[in-house]
Amino acid sequence: MVQENTVNQTPWHSLSIDDVLARLKTDGERGLSSIEAGKRLERYGPNILQPIPRPSAFKIFVKQFANIMVGLLIAALVISGLLGELIDAIVIGVIVFFVAVIGFVQEYRAEKTLETLKKMLSPTTVVVRDGVEKEIAVKDLVPGDIVILYTGSKIPADLRLIETVNLQVNEATLTGESTPVSKIVEPLPERTPIHDRFNMAYAGTVVTYGRGKGVVVATGSRTEFGKIAGEASAVSEERTPLEVRMDEVGKRFALIAGVVIAVIFLVELTTELWSGVLSLSFLVEVLLFAVALAVAVVPEALPGIVTATLAIGMGIMARRNALVRRMPAVETLGSTQVICFDKTGTLTLNQMAVREVCLYGRHYKVSELKSSNDAGLQTLLNAVTLCNDASISRESGGPIVRGDPTEGALLLLAEELGVDVENVKRIFRRVYEIPFTSERKLMSTVHQGPQGTLTVYSKGAVEKVLAICSAIFESGQIRPINDEDSRNIMREAEVMAGKALRVLAVAYKEVDEVKPEMVEKELIFLGLVGMMDPPRPEALNAVKTAREAGMKPVMVTGDHKLTAIAVAREVGIYREGDLILTGEELDRMSDEELDRVVEDVTVYARISPMHKLRIVEAWQRSGYVVAMTGDGVNDAPALKRADIGIATGITGTDVSKEASDMILADDNFATIVKAVELGRWIYENVRKYLAYLLEANLVEIAVISSVALVIARVLGLQGEEALPLLPVHILYINLATDGLPAIALGFSPPDPDIMKRKPIPRHEPIFSREVRNFLYTVLLVATPIYLLGYITALEHGVEDARSRLFFMFIANELLLAINCRSLTHTIFKAKPHKWLVLAIVWEIALISTIMALPGGAETLRLQPPNTEDLAWILGGGITLSTSIELMKAIAHGRGLKSKDKYVVSEALTV
């Protein structure tokens, strides 16, 4: 076993590769065995930094008391106790405790959901274990593991490099220097400072170019990065705009309470001074009113619900392959107006297969190649096998491509035509390479054969390969290439692209020595390879749904223009009259010119990552909310700039994932559309929840204020008699009655037309027109009904009037919960779901049980309802509920023509 102090203190950069492997007791080719890796994981622990301490359950509970709404309740509790209202004080105390419990449960669930999401977002890396390349979680890395590095890889631990091919690493996260550093494998002097250790790759840095291998020498907090930095959360826990707006709601309600109390105080003070006597009863009356109003103004179930709803929504999305990394993205998703996405893998299956090969004018289907005796075929097969970073493994009997799907298709072609891929790669050793990048659209490798011969193989975009060729292989002969040859080749490529094939050109040459500046010059053109990645079966419906939801799908791809159009037309993205732009055309356009046409372009072809950034910015300048997908290192700027940056989880690099707001676990366009639907659904349910809770508070304030300011004075009611509802009644209505139905509304199914509406405007307040006019309607219809019911019962005594008003509130709240199932559709179209029905049944059973228990009615200071009370209770509830349903029906009918629902005048008309 490797000694831990040896791993921590050894100057790895000063040792030779053999010494490093020997000290770590590992094999540079086969890596560790799985058994040994397991033992080392137990010894060294997981490859993670020390986590940021999470708040304890006790701290989360105490935190619930530190907000303005609960503060008002505590003030009410203290005042009630000082005035001798012990029952009210005890009930308020119990309610405050349960408010804290509800907030605690919601926030604790949110914490657990976020922790689960972090586990789902756990990054992976490719290692060699038991002689086989395999993908494992970064946290499972141990000293001695052999890690494979590619362009775009994020270094998962501190590595001593043992193989490099043009490897460059950006070490800005460690050294602050943004210029990529070229890496080597030779040992360096022991005193070499960290930023000059060119044979090391440190955790947290990023491969920007080339490829390589490294052996893990330090993990977790023992890495250089771990010594100087805390853990960067995979899921951002920033306060969401919705949370900020909820704080504003609390402050506004507190302000309303303060203003009304001040008015009552001034009225009472004026009355007392007019009478010439300033009595203690004046102060008591004002304090009693302050307690009632403070209780009425607080939507007790609200604290913590917003964060919890969004966090739980993130969990639901994760189960459906959309991993949301930043909570505000859930809100932004509902506002998405433009979705810019790549074709390959997102819209298609990402299962490339070669369909056609063109060898100087002759087109072959794959089945025909098996009997072909074309002299250039074997050279072409060698080229696509060797100029290739993919590999094929066989699991459960079938071939599994590891690496780029396009390169995988080329290997599968070679295998199908009889090439022993592994043997060819072993015999012809790669000695130099120039990797493929999105900007170059070209890859070249140099291989040394058994006799020491050196051969260059290149593959890439047709125009790029043609540009580096000076000869052509035709009928077994090599001759100079001319302009007519180039035109013919481009024409053949267009014919193949017109069949929706992705076309690559292949070339080669033999050389005497490796001269980097000459590798991609004077090559011999071999032929064209056409492959297809068919659209996903669900893509057509997903595009249709996106359009119906008011979103514009835009294809942004590096593929040939004709290939892009063929696929875009098949799935319904491209329509006659739409514009198509290529990368070259985009380069010739100014930002102003792009702004003029951006809304008409549905397909961008031959696009580089920096073009993506221009496209995002053009849409944003036009005022649109844009989502953009990406998978490469250079896609990061576009992903960060987009309102919703979406990284592909399968093909995406670590850099693109960290720059994103959301990761597609299945790289599927349909998942993006589904995520938008979920974002709208979650946001709409929060609105329903708020509308339902706040209407009760507003009506309570209106009724209490009306009685205290007007009715009590007219009828000569004083002190506690001037309160239509006691604090204990208001608390029961707000928490016991509203609590469960409100939570059930948070889990309501989406409205039937949620994906047929336009996106939610970016800056639309949480109190949208629908919410505001729902609140106006309830306030205008319910307040007179409550006051009339209360006044007509006063002849039987204040306690009878309070009881009637209390039961009217309960009945109305339960019926309003059904109305809130949808703020736009009637209950006939958006029927109550089972959880809402169960919540309502529970509330009815609860109040019935309390009233039936000995001492229950006395504790709440209530009288059982009589026949007249029942008529008011049922009649008032049915009148209010019917008014809201009529308003929804009228507004929806007019909205179909005017596209403007829930107009205030319509609410007033009803």
Could you give the residue numbers annotated as active site?
Answer: 342
Of 408, 393, 359, 361, which is closest to residue 379 (Cα–Cα)? Answer: 359
CB 309 within 8 A of CB 287: no
CB 696 within 8 A of CB 813: yes
Distance CA 80, CA 898 (A): 52
How many distinct helices (H) and strands (E) make up the chain? 35, 26
How, if at all, do strands 626-630 and 338-341 pair?
parallel
Of 76, 60, 178, which is closest to residue 111 (Cα–Cα)? Answer: 60
What region does 88 belong to: left with phi over 0, alpha with psi -120 to 50, or beta? alpha
CB 185 within 8 A of CB 128: no
Distance CA 278, CA 269 (A): 8
Separation in Å, CA 861 to CA 708, 792, 853, 864: 20, 19, 13, 10
Label each residue of 457-498 as H, E or C.
Answer: EEEECHHHHHHCEEEEEECCEEEECCHHHHHHHHHHHHHHHC
Question: What sections of 64-191 are H helices per DSSP?
Answer: 68-82, 86-120, 172-175
Beta carbons within 8 Å of 848's beta carbon, 6+ residues apart? none
Rg of the Cα trace of the chain?
Answer: 35
Q: 683, exposed or middle or buried, with CB in 10 Å at 0-12, 13-18, 19+?
A: buried
Distance CA 300, CA 64 (A): 11
Vertex 779 angle, CA 776 and 782, to 5°: 135
Distance CA 772, CA 691 (A): 8
Q: 570, exposed or middle or buried, with CB in 10 Å at 0-12, 13-18, 19+?
A: middle
CB 247 within 8 A of CB 255: no
What type of residue sits at position 428?
Answer: F
What type of residue sits at position 160?
Answer: R
Distance CA 802, CA 703 (A): 12
